[in-house]
Structure 1
Amino acid sequence: MRTIEEILEDLARELQAVYEEPEARTMAEWVLQHVLKVNRFELLSRRRENAPDGLQAAVQQYQARLLRQEPVQYVLGEAHFYGRDFMVSPAVLIPRPETEELVQKVIKIYQNQSGVKLLDIGTGSGCIPVTLAAELPGAQVWGLDVSVEALAVAKTNAAKLGQTINWLQQDILQEIPAVEPQSLDAVISNPPYVLEAERELMRPNVLQYEPALALFVPNEDPLLFYRRIAQVAQQLLKAGGRLFFEINEQFASQTQSMLAQMEYKSIKTYQDLRGKDRMVEAMWEGSAA
Structure 2
Amino acid sequence: MKTIKDVFTDYKQGLDKIYDTNELGAITLLTVSEICNVSKAKIKAFPEDEVSPEQAEKLKSILEELKTGKPIQYILGKTEFYGLPFNVNPSVLIPRPETEELVEWVLNSVGSLKLAVGSLLDIGTGSGCIAISLKKNLLGFKVSAIDISADALQTAASNATLNAVDIEFIEDDILNIKSEIEIPKFEIIISNPPYVTLHDKTQMHTNVTDFEPHTALFVPENDPLIFYNAIAKFATTHLTENGLLFFEINESYGKETVKLLADKGFKNIELRKDMSGRDRMIRAFISSLAH
TM-score (norm 1): 0.94
Provide closer, same or farther for how the CA distance between residues 3 and 197 of structure 1 changes in structure 2, counting only shifts above 3 A. closer
Which residue does the alignment assign to 1:208? 210
The alignment status of 1:122 with 2:100, answered yes or no, reads no
Aligned-pair distance for 1:201? Answer: 1.8
Percent identity reads 37
Secondary structure of the residue that 2:242 maps to in structure 1?
A: strand
CA contact (8 A) 2:264 2:290 kept: no
Report the AA paired with residue 131 of structure 2.
P
CA-CA distance at 1:49 after TM superposition: 2.5
Question: How many pairs are equivalent?
Answer: 289
Contact 2:36 2:51 in 1 (8 A): no
Report the CA distance shift for 1:34/1:67 in structure 2 as closer, same or farther (over 3 A): same
Structure 1 residue 137 displacement after superposition: 1.6
**CA shift at 1:12, angstroms?**
3.0
C-alpha distance after superposition, 1:200-252 (max 9, x if no partner): 22211111111110111111111110011011111111001000011111111
- Identify the residue that residue 67 of structure 2 maps to in structure 1: 67
Are positions 1:242 and 2:244 aligned together?
yes
1:58 aligns with: 58
| Aligned equivalents of 1:247, 1:197: Cα separation in 2 | 16
Deviation at 1:60, TM superposition (A): 0.8
In structure 2, the residue matched to 1:40 is 40
One-letter amino acid matched to 2:286? W
- 1:177 positional shift: 5.3
Residues 10-49 of structure 1 mapped to structure 2, 5 A cutoff: 10-49=10-49
**Structure-2 change in CA distance of 1:119 and 1:288 (3 Å):** closer
Question: How far did residue 287 of structure 1 move?
Answer: 5.2
* CA drift at 1:2: 2.6
Code of the aligned partner of 1:246: E
How far apart in 2 are the matches of 1:108 and 1:164?
Answer: 22
Question: Which consecutive residues of structure 2, in runs of 5 or more, have no partner in the other structure?
Answer: none
Offset from partner CA, 1:162-221 (integer Å, 9 cap, x none): 111110100111115533565211100000001123222221111111111011111111
Distance 1:213 1:63 in 2: 28
Please say which of residues 174-183 and 111-120 is displaced more in the overlay: 174-183
Query: Structure 1, unaligned stretches of length 5 or more?
Result: none
Tell me whether 129-138 or 11-20 shows the greater mean CA deviation: 11-20
Contact 1:238 1:286 survives alignment (8 Å): no
RMSD between aligned alpha carbons? 1.8
Aligned residue number for residue 84 of structure 2: 84
CA distance in 2 between partners of 1:212 and 1:264 (Å):
30
Q: Rate the CA distance shift 1:39–1:158 in 2: closer, same or farther, 3 A.
A: farther
